[in-house]
Amino acid sequence: MVQKKVLLAEDDLDDRMIFEDFLEDRNDFLLISVVENGVEIFEFLNGLNSESELPQLIILDKNMPKINGVEALKLLKSEERFSKISVVIYSTYIDQNLVNTCKALGAAAILPKPFTKSGYNEMMDEFLRTTKDIF
């Protein structure tokens, strides 16, 4: 099985640690980097030398400082080099307006933040289901 390269953008330390710990137990995802805000997403991506180094999936926390998840999604999809990367928004609160906005901007999925390890498993399985045509 080929691992999917993942970039996580999450400003909350506890959520980052949970996500990193959780992904260590999965053999279908490789966490290539964790950034704390939308600005760092672009610093990381622009620092990669080749297209083969780009992540296949970017997971964005909706509520981040500097550039939030929705703004980062819009910027990612507007740049040709990054527009093909599957992007998922996750948040503690999701409403229909957020879903509609993010879908219109090109998000592969908009999902609630899990609270348990099994919840993280379900979320990542949902990422795989919603992006199966991309991977």
Residue 135 lies in a domain: no
Task: Per-residue pLDDT tens, the chain, 135 aa: give them.
Answer: 678 899 999 999 988 888 888 888 788 888 999 999 999 999 999 999 999 999 999 999 999 999 999 999 999 999 999 999 999 998 988 899 999 999 999 999 898 888 787 888 888 887 777 666 554
* pLDDT attached to residue 103: 95
Tell me the β-bridge partners of 89. 60, 110
Residue 55 lies in a domain: yes
Which pTM was predicted? 0.90
The Cα–Cα gap between 84 and 103 comes to 14
The count of structural domains within the chain is 1
Residue 21 lies in a domain: yes
- CATH number, domain containing residue 58: 3.40.50.2300
Residue 18, domain extent: 4-130
CA-to-CA separations, 38 to 11, 34, 64, 68, 116, in angstroms, rounded: 9, 11, 7, 6, 25
Residue 89 lies in a domain: yes
Residue 116 lies in a domain: yes
